[in-house]
Amino acid sequence: MFHRSNPILLFCIAMSLLSGCHLGDEVDLWPLVFYERDQEKQESRLDVLGPLYSYQSTPEGDSHAFRPLFVGEFPKDKEYTQMLFLWPLGLFRQEPGQTRIWVLPFYYFNDLKRPEAGERDFDWFFLPFAAFGGVDTKEGAYLALLGWGNIKGLLGYDEIELRPFPFYVKARDGEYETRGYLWPFFRFGDGGGKHFRFYCMLYSYYEKEGKFRRRSYLWPIIHYNEEDLHKRHPYTEFEVFPFYGESVSDIAVSRTFLWPLFSYAYNTQSGYREYNIPWPFFKTRTDKEVNEFRIWPFYWEFQRDMGKLGKEEELMLLWPIYWHTMSDYLTFHKESRYVLPFYWSHYREAKGKGGKTNERVKLWPFLSYEKKEDDTVRYRALSPLWFDDYLPYGIEKAWLPFVTMFDYSSGPKGAETLSLLGPLYQYKANDSLLYHRVLFCSYKEEKKKQKSRFSVLGGLFAYGSEQGEKQMSLFYIPIHWGEKQPQGENKK
């Protein structure tokens, strides 16, 4: 079992031996070792060799990072454990109702329980040798050597049997059951009002009683389908792929020539019209809600007006260089802009009283900016990720600290932190603390304790005061003089 206190104990002992002094609440030998503890907030932090090893402990939980090999998070206020191993190759996550493990690309394990719904979804595989799992059961699905097995709850089927694949395949979806021999060349299905026959690409027939009938000859070349037979406006489809295709009903027509280059469609009831001459270079589309016009790759505009529900707009210029999207709904407004590959931004604002905003901007690969709904602001450089890092934010936790040259953040209560060129300069400020470090020299002021200190290499030379008592150290040997001011006495 991973013991949360071990890193602190080991490094405190090591630093005691190295410095020959009592550690107290701080050891500042940056960039070799930095340790600080806030007894009032019950928080502690340890960094060894810059970003190589980090440990943080708060009342909410502990985190360990031995970058890039390992990042672990162990909350104290909830049942949750997450460990990343050389992300994204390895993951272990455990929380109430779910356990997930993967070692890419060979091993995957996921056990998801939904007791309120009486369900269990279990999946396990060790490629290419074996896999098993499925919905509601742990033993009901299996697959051996990718050829022999029983698979449940995947690919839109309740159950798929392989005996072995591809010589015999049976699939079931409710009452509908299909059998395949030398799959996919010979397949036959019946049940639930459906009938299906497929003979080695030469001929196929698929029917659902009262809804559709589909035939193909020399699949996928010739098709003739009757669709929506149960609806008010059924239609027929005919296609000789890729030369010609059409879909015709009493209110709508669409035709394609040399798919997908040339096509047109219209609907007399909805007013829908679309032309592609040729696709994807020229396109125009209109109906009651939508207007779209495209001369690709130079210009592309899309507008959707949904009345009281809101509207959507897109504009692209010199695709894929410039792209702007906007959505204005009843409850929120959002916009995104891209000037690829160097710039993109996302903005979201909730409407109504007390509406919050969220904003992200990236000037790749140099700078990123983020503002969260709690008014927390963060700037970082370099910013080499060309995409957004989503949960579990493994790249940000395991890799980005090695390339971050500038990192500034400010909290909603005025707290600020700044890191410049890794160990070169560090800054931290809040309502009770002011801290500066320039390489091996640091200045720290604790306002509530009336305590200040200037230090070189964590006490090789240090000078400061605490409530009127002067303090100095040479070669880590402390020297005190002056009278200590009584607690709570005001200076005059």
pLDDT computed for residue 189 by the predictor: 96
DSSP state for residue 307 in the 8-state scheme: G
Which residue in 436, 438, 445 sits closest to 417, CA to CA? 436
Residue closest to 83 by CA, chosen among 177, 165, 1, 191: 1
Tokens representing 450?
A: 């009336």
What is the per-residue burial (b if ≥16 Cβ within 10 Å, else e) of 179-195? bbeebeeebebeeeebb
**What span, in angstroms and rounded, lies between the C-alpha atoms of 75 and 73?**
6
**Rounded mean pLDDT, 66-84:** 93
Read off the pLDDT of residues 418-438 as tens digits, 9 standing for 90 and up: 999 877 898 999 888 899 988
Phi, psi (rounded to 5 degrees) for 385: -70, 130
Q: How many CB atoms lie within 10 A of CB 78?
A: 9
The pLDDT, as a whole number, for residue 5 is 44
What does the DSSP 8-state code read for residue 65? E
**DSSP one-letter string for 357-423:** EEEEEEETTTEEEEE-TT--EEEEE----SS---TT-HHHHHTGGGT--EEEEE-TTS-EEEEETTT
Mean pLDDT for the chain? 86
Distance separating alpha carbons of residues 141 and 481, to the nearest angstrom: 77
- Determine the pLDDT at residue 277: 94
Q: Which uninterrupted H or E stretch holds 294?
A: strand 290-295
Amino acid at position 337, single letter: R
Model pLDDT, residue 15: 46
Neighbours of 22 (CB within 10 A): 7
Q: For residue 4, give the nearest of 38, 53, 55, 47 by alpha carbon.
A: 55
CA dist 418 and 432 (Å) reads: 17
For the residues 155-184, what does the mean pLDDT come to? 90
The torsion defined by the Cα of 384, 388, 390 and 396, in degrees rounded to 10, comes to 20
pLDDT at residue 118, as a whole number = 67
Has residue 203 got a pLDDT over 80? Answer: yes
For residue 124, the cross-strand partners are 109, 132
Q: What percent of the chain has pLDDT over 90?
A: 57
Segment holding 12, helix H or strand E: helix 6-19
pLDDT of residue 310: 94
Largest Cα–Cα distance of the chain, in whole Å? 101
Residues near 429 by beta carbon (within 8 Å), at least 6 away in sequence: 415, 416, 417, 435
57 pLDDT more than 70 = yes
Beta partners for residue 60, in sequence order: none
Mean pLDDT of 377-391: 89
**What are the backbone dihedrals phi and psi of residue 127, each rounded to the nearest 5 degrees, phi first?**
-75, 145
Tokens of 196: 């299906």
The angle at the Cα of 71, spanning 69 to 74, to the nearest 5 degrees, equals 150
Q: Which residues contact 90 (CB under 8 A, 6 or more apart)?
A: 83, 84, 102, 103, 104
First to last CA, the chain: 56
Structural domain boundaries in the chain: 1-95, 97-200
Which pLDDT does position 464 carry in this prediction? Answer: 87
- Least confident range from 185-199, 342-356, 475-489: namely 475-489
Q: Quick: pLDDT tens for 276-305.
A: 999 999 999 999 999 999 999 999 999 999
Number of other residues whose CB lies within 10 A of the CB of residue 330: 10
Query: CA 389 to CA 395: how far, in whole Å?
Result: 7
17 three-state secondary structure: helix
Is 179 a residue whose pLDDT tops 70?
yes
**Which pLDDT value is given to residue 3?**
44
Specify the DSSP element, H or E, that contains 121: strand 119-126
pLDDT digits over 15-29, tens only? Answer: 443 444 444 577 877
pLDDT at position 424, please? 85
Query: Encoding tokens for residue 357?
Result: 């905003």
**For 88-130, what is each residue's pLDDT tens digit?**
999 999 999 899 999 999 999 998 887 676 677 778 888 878 8
In sequence order, the 6+-apart residues with CB closer than 8 A to the CB of 13 are none
Q: Which residues of 360-399 are buried (b: 16+ CB within 10 A; e: fewer)?
A: bbbebeeebbbbeeeeeebbbbebebeeeeeebebbbbbb
Close Cβ partners of 444 (under 8 Å, ≥ 6 residues apart): 26, 433, 434, 435, 436, 452, 453, 455
Going by C-alpha positions, the residue among 453, 449, 452 that lies closest to residue 488 is 449
Three-class secondary structure of residue 308 per DSSP? helix
What was the pLDDT predicted at 491? 43
Residue that wins the pLDDT comparison between 40 and 190: 190
**Which is more confidently placed, 273 or 34?**
273
Strands 477-481 vs 290-295: parallel, antiparallel or unpaired: unpaired
- Give the separation between CA 208 and CA 176, rounded to whole angstroms: 10
pLDDT in tens, 229-279: 999 999 999 999 999 999 999 999 999 999 999 999 999 998 999 999 999
| Mean pLDDT across 435-460 | 86
- Average confidence (pLDDT) over 354-376: 92
In this prediction, residue 363 carries a pLDDT of 95
Candidate ranges 14-23, 338-347, 444-453; pick with highest mean pLDDT: 338-347
